[in-house]
């Protein structure tokens, strides 16, 4: 049975220069601060031996993996239910999802979205069949994709795994993907409109909220872990004693970075010397650390340890960047890139719609029941402006499983108000 890596066309588009690897790539600022990331949950230590995690029950075999029933017919070709289920399982496993635990209607909606991409894959594959490639074309494309994925085969492997794909299957399908991407680009180039400076300025003037950067504070920490539920006085006292001794040494003028390497119970302190990067006034643990660092002048150390869910922190403020509005000239390049990508995304939609109009496509997969209230799965939205920066959601919309081919993701056009990743507490 033929297996489908999750949308050949999708992956080729996501890894193309035009739309970038932005389905999961975080926006990085080159001038202000690290890109916004979600605070990591910390493992608990604090002298305790963490209880072993309960073993996950093995997933029941999917009875539909070998089904030859047609899910869709595309001209003279058939996409089977088994092929569709296999593609879904690959991505579910890559995302640590449990397919059997998913509500049937939600799974069916996701299957329909993936089936649409398989249909588009077949249509574009047929349209691009006459494009000729050389070995050098394939090598150049592989080198480019590897560079965009992080610069190494290991980084590309990680990216592929997040799509439920292996390096072997990727390389096998690469010629096909290159043909598809070249064909799509040739069609899109005639439809997509280049954005003018005037249009970029209009966007800037109408979206001021996206160009405001809050005050940023850079700080370092020394952390001593303590279970947030800990009530044993002797354990609290022991952690406090260590923290206060470290604070005393820091206040006497010992090098804070060296103390962090020596004393901090955050494993990353050995490399970052306690530096947490730039903190912003946002929610979660990063907000607590920001508030503490904001009380201090540059070079000052907190007067007493700060207790959070991760333990006891000694904070030193090392730098401040005032709140500001990013000027248009500084933001113009990113705005233009965003709007050009939006235009290309609309052109891709138009190209795919044209292919469907000319083809005979019959979808045989049962249709999901319409939701009683709101749709439980967020639908892809056409963005007229970049979304306000938000933390990664724990929910799993369809786009997280398989981003729509017709709406390539784009990066935020300006420096998102950056928040630093909260320092994780040490793990066992």
Range with lowest mean pLDDT among 132-141, 163-172, 308-317: 163-172
- List strands edge to edge, sheet with 306-308: 275-279, 216-225, 311-321, 306-308
Pairwise CA distance, residues 200 & 196, whole Å: 6
Across the range 260-265, mean pLDDT stands at 94
Whole-number pLDDT of residue 255: 95
Mean pLDDT for 162-169 is 85
Answer yes or no: are the C-beta atoms of 155 and 167 closer than 8 Å.
no
Q: Is the pLDDT of residue 385 over 60?
A: no
Task: Return the bridge partners of 87, or none.
Answer: none
CATH superfamily membership of 8-32+65-197+327-401: Porin chaperone SurA, peptide-binding domain (1.10.4030.10)
Q: Which two tokens stand for residue 243?
A: 């923290």
Can you tell me whether residue 270 is helix, strand or coil? Answer: helix
Contact between 320 and 216 under an 8 Å Cβ cutoff? The reply is: yes
Mean pLDDT for the stretch of residues 308-317: 92
CA distances from 355 to 120, 189, 347 (A): 8, 16, 13
Judge contact between 153 and 146, C-beta under 8 A: yes
Average pLDDT over residues 107-117: 91
- What percent of the chain is modeled with pLDDT above 70? 71
CATH of domain 215-322: 3.10.50.40
Provide the pLDDT for residue 192: 87
| Residue 396: strand pairing partners | none
Residue 75's φ and ψ, nearest 5 degrees, are 55, -115
Whole-angstrom distance, CA of residue 405 vs CA of residue 190? 19
Per residue in 341-381, pLDDT tens?
Answer: 999 999 999 999 999 999 999 999 988 876 655 444 443 33
Please check the confidence at residue 14 and state whether its pLDDT lies above 80.
no
Q: How confident is the model at residue 29 (pLDDT cuts 50, 70, 90)?
A: very low
CB 418, CB 214: distance < 8 Å: no
Spell out the domain ranges in the chain: 8-32+65-197+327-401, 215-322
- Mean pLDDT for 127-137 is 94
């Amino acid at each position: 049975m033929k297996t489908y890596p999750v949308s050949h066309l999708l992956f080729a588009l996501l890894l193309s220069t035009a739309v970038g690897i932005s389905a999961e790539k975080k926006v990085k600022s080159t001038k202000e601060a690290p890109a916004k990331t979600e605070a990591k949950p910390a493992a608990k230590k604090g002298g305790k031996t963490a209880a072993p995690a309960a073993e996950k029950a093995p997933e029941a075999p999917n009875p539909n993996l070998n089904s030859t029933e047609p899910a869709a017919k595309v001209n003279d070709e058939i996409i089977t239910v088994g092929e569709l289920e296999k593609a879904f399982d690959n991505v579910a496993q890559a995302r640590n999802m449990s397919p059997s635990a998913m509500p049937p209607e939600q799974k069916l909606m996701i299957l329909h979205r993936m089936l649409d991409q398989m249909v588009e894959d077949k249509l574009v594959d047929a349209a691009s069949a006459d494009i000729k490639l050389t070995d050098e074309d394939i090598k150049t494309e592989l080198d480019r994709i590897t560079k965009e994925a992080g610069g190494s085969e290991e980084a590309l492997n990680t990216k592929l795994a997040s799509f439920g794909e292996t390096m072997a299957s990727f390389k096998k399908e690469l010629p096909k993907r290159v043909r598809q991407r070249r064909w799509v680009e040739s069609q899109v180039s005639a439809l997509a409109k280049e954005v003018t400076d005037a249009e970029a300025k209009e966007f800037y003037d109408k979206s001021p909220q996206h160009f405001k950067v809050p005050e940023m504070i850079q700080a370092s920490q020394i952390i001593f872990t303590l279970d947030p539920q800990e009530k044993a006085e002797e354990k609290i006292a022991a952690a406090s004693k260590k923290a206060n001794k470290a604070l005393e040494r820091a206040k006497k003028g010992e090098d804070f970075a060296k103390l962090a390497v020596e004393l901090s119970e955050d494993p990353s302190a050995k490399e970052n010397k306690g530096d947490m990067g730039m903190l912003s006034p946002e929610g979660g643990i990063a907000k607590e650390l920001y508030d503490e660092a904001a009380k201090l002048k540059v070079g000052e150390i907190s007067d007493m340890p700060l207790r959070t869910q991760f333990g006891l922190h000694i904070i030193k403020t090392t730098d401040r960047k005032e709140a500001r509005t990013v000027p248009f000239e500084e933001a113009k390049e990113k705005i233009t890139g965003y709007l050009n990508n939006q235009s290309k995304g609309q052109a891709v939609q138009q190209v795919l719609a044209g292919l469907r109009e000319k083809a005979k496509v019959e979808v045989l997969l049962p249709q999901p029941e319409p939701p009683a209230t709101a749709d439980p799965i967020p639908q892809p939205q056409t963005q007229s402006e970049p979304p306000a920066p938000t933390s990664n959601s724990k929910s799993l919309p369809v786009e997280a499983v398989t981003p729509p081919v017709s709406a390539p993701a784009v990066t935020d056009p300006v420096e998102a108000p950056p928040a630093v990743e909260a320092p994780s507490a040490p793990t066992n």
